[in-house]
Structure 1
Amino acid sequence: MMQKPRLLVTRKLPDTVEKRLVDTFETILNPDDVPLDSEKLIQQSKNVDGILCTPNDQIDTDLIARLPDRIRIISTFSVGYEHIDITACQRRGIVVTNTPGVLTDATADIALLLLLGAARRAYEGERLIREDKWTGWNPTQLIGIGLQGKRLGILGMGRIGQAVAQRAQAFGMEIHYHNRTRLDHGATYHDSAESLLKVSDFLSLHFPLTPQTRGFLNAERLALMPKGAVVVNTARGGVVEDEALLAALKSGQVAAAGLDVFDGEPNLHPGYREMPNTLLLPHLGSATLETRNAMGFCAIDNLEAFFKGQTPPHPVTV
């Protein structure tokens, strides 16, 4: 019988995903879900043919240089792959794959949750209840911002951006967007991000973190937005300049922010915790059982194809 490829899985994955992994590969699992630092990852990657990693694993240049020669593929349990040094992998001939397309609806749902929750001051209201400080209904208590007729600016009109637009239209929002290419979408296209920001009563971010987009939403761009706008980020924390957004939240230039991702997470900027007008979630964008299973199966599909000598369905680099 042909020997199964040997695989290192860096984190605990859903049970059905792990079952398929064990059935398909000779698999080293992480049942205690203890994050692996670089040294432990290198140690456990001895005598394996591939790695199934997650966004928490920093697969940087130094780590890649130290990986055993036997490793030929890194399959990431994510759409984003900024945690992997792609150039270093290419130099070593290591294929990298990701899991696009399967988390669109779940992430779009979280974007709408953040948009609604931030606009309607859900965090402040829940805190009143939990801290037993609610004294009863009154006409001016926690007045928020309605969605109907407001302009939603979407930066990055890919799968998730389009799914957010579809949902927001059901709430009566007017959709504006900026994208690298103009789409036949029925929404208002802006040929620059700056043009979009000027009309965005609400702003939802949906573009990848790259060296060019790091710190994209800075003080200058926030100042272009209508006063009292709402900012939602389900993309990557690094596309927002934290100090600039916090200053805008304090000044009222931004009325509220709904954030599911943070630069340096889980060590987010402590200033966010102090702001009553922030709705903060711990990177829940894809956190449904259906979606996490689909992500796992997609990662496995990539691995199976590769070890059969085929092109993986979702290569970042080959």
Structure 2
Amino acid sequence: MKPSVLMLAPARPSAMERLARDYDLLRLDEAEDRDAFLDRHGATCRAIVTHGHKTIDDALLDRLPALEIVSCSSAGYDAFDVDALARRGIRLTNASPALAQEVADMAMLLAAAGWRRLVEADAWVRSGDWARQGEFPLRRGLRGRTLGIVGMGTIGQRVADLAGAFGVNVAYWNRSERQVEAVYHADLVDLARASDILIVIVAGGEGTRHLISAPVIAALGPEGLLVNVARGSVVDEEALITALQDGTLGAAALDVFASEPEADPRFAAMANVTLSPHLGSATVESREAMSALMVDNLDAHFAGRPLLSEVALAR
């Protein structure tokens, strides 16, 4: 008998084909009456496939007594009650390895664009200011600057690798020191003070909420650039907006926001802010790989093999 898998959110067509072929796929995402659907199928579900924006909490888990694993097609899992999963001994996997390079690429694109004020320069041409006012104001180059990385995980290490091509010095903060060729700072304020550009790449959730606080932002300084490709919740947006408006911070480049898909309109009104609609992993290749990894983890679990990208939960 095929294992029963509960789907909370659809995947890429290639992954859907595999799931439909190899599993008893139960489409909660298409159910008109979720309660009735769970009453009928919940007791047999051994796995969930979803992305990190779908809620998984005690109320849902109570209706899935046979659940063994949650396989997530995104890196983040902010909407999951991981403590509830841990209490029940339910395993969790995510798709971080499949998207690491794309997010790292995006981080460096935003860093370069923000540092050289590419969006402002684009507007300078489009508005006719180049013809009326002459050359765009000069900026300092990237080479020789210090790039601070907040979170030296898989993506952070990819960013560090890319940064070498730009000739920048790399420093980082992490909850524990890593064996990498970069300068470690145990204190975030110290890292920000030592950095020209600060790239934020940590998981979301309550444990990192407003990790980038007003003191960290102030330490980055009036010439500094903050890049966020993590989660909007990681940065204190009110403190960030205030710092950008009063000159405490030089610029920001943001791919994520506290209340997506709504971005605070004050960001759009500031020329020193580069905005992107959460495009970190948004390529065809990355999304295919993320969905494939989600199914690969299911296959490994039910075959008794090691999981490919298990999230360590505190038991």
TM-score (norm 1): 0.86
Q: Which residue of 122, 127, 142 corresponds with 1:133?
A: 127
1:94/1:180 CA distance change after superposition, 3 Å = closer
What displacement does 1:198 show?
A: 0.9
Structure 1 contact 205–235 (Cα < 8 Å) conserved: yes
- What displacement does 1:309 show? 4.5
Pairing of 1:50-199 with structure 2 (within 5 A)? 50-65=47-62, 67-127=63-123, 132-137=126-131, 139-141=134-136, 143-199=138-194
Q: Tell me the CA shift for residue 44 of structure 1.
A: 4.7
1:258-269 correspondence to structure 2 within 5 Å? 258-269=253-264
- Identify the residue that residue 223 of structure 1 maps to in structure 2: 218
Deviation at 1:311, TM superposition (A): 4.9
Matches within 5 A, 1:42-57: 44-45=37-38, 46-47=40-41, 48-57=45-54
How big is the shift at 1:53? Answer: 1.1
TM-score (norm 2): 0.87
Deviation larger for 172-181 or 134-143:
134-143
Amino acid at match of 1:183: R
Q: Relative to 1, partners in 2 of residues 1:22 and 1:266: Cα closer, same or farther, differing over 3 Å?
A: same
Q: Secondary structure at the residue paired with 2:148?
A: strand
Q: Secondary structure in 2 aligned to 1:169?
A: helix
* Counterpart contact for 2:51–2:77, Cα < 8 Å: no
* 1:233 counterpart letter in structure 2: N
Aligned residues: 308
Q: Distance in 2 between matches of 1:92 and 1:190?
A: 36
Which segment is superposed worse, 39-48 or 155-164? Answer: 39-48
Q: Aligned partner of 2:24: which letter?
A: E
Q: Distance in 1 between matches of 2:297 and 2:228?
A: 28
Name the structure with the higher helix share.
2
Q: Does 1:208 align with 2:172?
A: no
User: Match for 2:165: what amino acid?
Assistant: A
Query: CA offset at residue 165 of structure 1?
Result: 1.4
1:257 corresponds to which residue? 252
Q: Secondary structure at the match of 1:88?
A: helix
Which stretch of the first structure deviates more once superposed, 268-277 or 160-169?
268-277
**Counterparts of 1:142 and 1:12 in 2: how far apart (Å)?**
47
Query: How many angstroms apart in 2 are the aligned matches of 1:211 and 1:14?
Result: 30
CA distance in 2, matches of 1:89, 1:107: 27
CA contact (8 A) 2:171 2:183 kept: yes
Deviation at 1:246, TM superposition (A): 0.5
Instruction: Write the distance in 1 (CA, Å) between the matches of 2:116 and 2:37.
Output: 48
Tell whether the 8 Å contact from 2:149 to 2:200 is kept in structure 1 after alignment. yes
- Structure 1: give runs of 5+ residues left out of the alignment: none
Deviations 1:135-157 (A, max 9, x none): 44554425444212111111111
Aligned residue type for 2:4: R
Rounded to whole Å, the distance in 2 between the matches of 1:282 and 1:165 is 23
Deviations 1:62-100 (A, max 9, x none): 3333x3334432211122223210121233443322223
Partner residue, 1:241: 236
The answer for the alignment partner of 1:8 in structure 2 is 6
Q: Distance in 1 between matches of 2:305 and 2:230?
A: 31
Deviation at 1:304, TM superposition (A): 1.8
Gaps of 5+ in 2: none
2:293 to 292, 298, 305: 298
Query: 2-side partners of 1:240 and 1:225: how far apart?
Result: 13
Instruction: Write the deviation string for residues 259-282 of structure 1: whole angstroms up to 9, x where unpaired.
Output: 111223223333222222221212
Deviation, structure 1 residue 111: 0.1
Identity %: 35
Amino acid at match of 2:301: F
Specify the alignment match of 2:22 in structure 1. 24
Does 287-296 or 87-96 show the bigger shift? 87-96
Shift of 1:229: 0.3
Indicate conservation of the 8 Å contact 2:147/2:171, yes or no.
yes
Give yes or no for contact 1:8–1:44 (8 Å, CA) kept in 2.
no
